[in-house]
Structure 1
């Protein structure tokens, strides 16, 4: 299978995941919980935060992994970690910890999802695929980054940096843990940011071999959820993760101009 065909298959899968019934395009709301038990929108139950945990009180109308929530349930989540999905009929409520606890409704009927026609992208060009090196730290280092939500910060553990060469210059990018043990994730901007690509950030998953060889395929650089919805709390790239050249590869800014 040639480079272009592989990319087309990857891109089609990426669009299917985005457009899944409870994927990122299905978000319709975002609310931060406080210490007062209350209902939100037309959701069943009451929701609040208490002693580093989120509390949900319901009478069986909500469930987690198929188990109904009856009475009060406490959930203590990791800061900036993955959310917990709570079923509410044909909708899902994502509970996450972002500074405080936040709930987001994922509704298959979201206008963003139903109007989705795909993600614009540069044509795949193998010249934007680089072989670099993963340089791990002796110990993971905490890295604090800003967010698209004013005043919010995310704290992640960085296992190291990825180094690669472009046009005779070497560039280093702070990496975070990726979706599996053999993959890192890099948040970055470049000289296309705010011009043809989303201004705040793009994301790149970087496979790494046991001997530290890293593959940076910028044709697979993706938008974070905040490029599609105002209900996301996406992190900004770490300081120094701006590439001083135009990465004319990967997903474009999903705006009317494109």
Structure 2
């Protein structure tokens, strides 16, 4: 039987592997650290910042008009854009549509997105200083006291709860599948937080706490492994991470459901990127 010290060492080692993977994922080509703009498309073909061509939408379809001299090509095929091309998305869908720039013509990828039933583009530039100067997200030190036992109380059916997002022009919906219930030192009552379901039955909990706006971003999230058959869960707040909107003003990341708050300082997980 392992000693508590050995168990904590093993937990810390797993957390360090998690942190390495997290930092590597953030530093990926065309990832969240490369966002350089978010721009809505208009009915009339228009110039947009940081990208060639004329862009527009009729409400259901997005259009791009460009000549071969503009240097745009399709991400998927590499074929040049020469003339008018179009794409159709459903709400909340995204498409890495065209690319341009740099020696290989792939420095910038233009993501077409449908948000709040409107078309927008985001430019993703691998030369963004947010990416090129990135080393790691600052975090609190690993603290085994923030590995907390709790339980999951599933709803009979998922409930769609309206929420805001990091972009005030975009409303969101949180599909709550139940509540994660637990206690933390210093709070006399149980904490109840709405949870969304992820792949393989894991849970995603987006929450506020008393560190927000001080040492952490305005809200963060933590993934919880699939609940056991009896509903019990383990919440490792050391694995709390930032949304992309912590790194960039161009995200449309979901805010927590109203009341998804922990009434103490959760000094665990990721801090503000600039700290």
In the superposition, the TM-score normalised over structure 2's length comes to: 0.83
Deviation at 1:24, TM superposition (A): 0.6
> 2:197 corresponds to which residue?
177
CA contact (8 A) 2:95 2:113 kept: yes
Q: Does 1:110 align with 2:123?
A: no
In 1, distance between residues paired with 2:63 and 2:195?
Answer: 34
CA contact (8 A) 2:195 2:203 kept: yes
Runs of 4 or more consecutive aligned structure 1 residues displaced over 6 Å after TM superposition: none
Deviation at 1:213, TM superposition (A): 3.0
> 2:96 corresponds to which residue?
85
The alignment's C-alpha RMSD in Å is: 2.2
Q: Does 1:202 align with 2:213?
A: no
> 2:102 corresponds to which residue?
none
Q: Does 1:48 align with 2:56?
A: yes
Secondary structure of 1:14's match? helix
Deviation at 1:189, TM superposition (A): 0.9
Secondary structure of 1:189's match? strand
Question: In the superposition, relative to structure 1, how do residues 67 and 92 fare at CA in structure 2: closer, same or farther (>3 Å)?
Answer: same
Question: In the superposition, relative to structure 1, how do residues 118 and 101 fare at CA in structure 2: closer, same or farther (>3 Å)?
Answer: same
Question: In the superposition, relative to structure 1, how do residues 141 and 58 fare at CA in structure 2: closer, same or farther (>3 Å)?
Answer: farther
Instruction: Name the stretch that deviates more: 186-195 or 42-51.
Output: 42-51
In 2, distance between residues paired with 1:197 and 1:214?
Answer: 25
Q: Does 1:19 align with 2:37?
A: no
Give the 5 Å matches for 1:49-198.
49-57=57-65, 61-66=72-77, 68=79, 71-78=84-91, 81-88=92-99, 89-90=105-106, 91-99=108-116, 100-167=118-185, 169-178=189-198, 180-198=199-217
CA contact (8 A) 1:31 1:104 kept: yes
Secondary structure of 1:28's match? strand
CA contact (8 A) 1:201 1:237 kept: yes
Q: 1:242 aligns with which of 261, 264, 273?
A: 261
> 1:216 corresponds to which residue?
235
Deviation at 1:138, TM superposition (A): 1.7
Give the number of the structure whose alpha-carbon radius of gyration is greater: 2
How many residues are aligned here?
252
Deviation at 1:117, TM superposition (A): 2.4
Question: In the superposition, relative to structure 1, how do residues 187 and 53 fare at CA in structure 2: closer, same or farther (>3 Å)?
Answer: farther
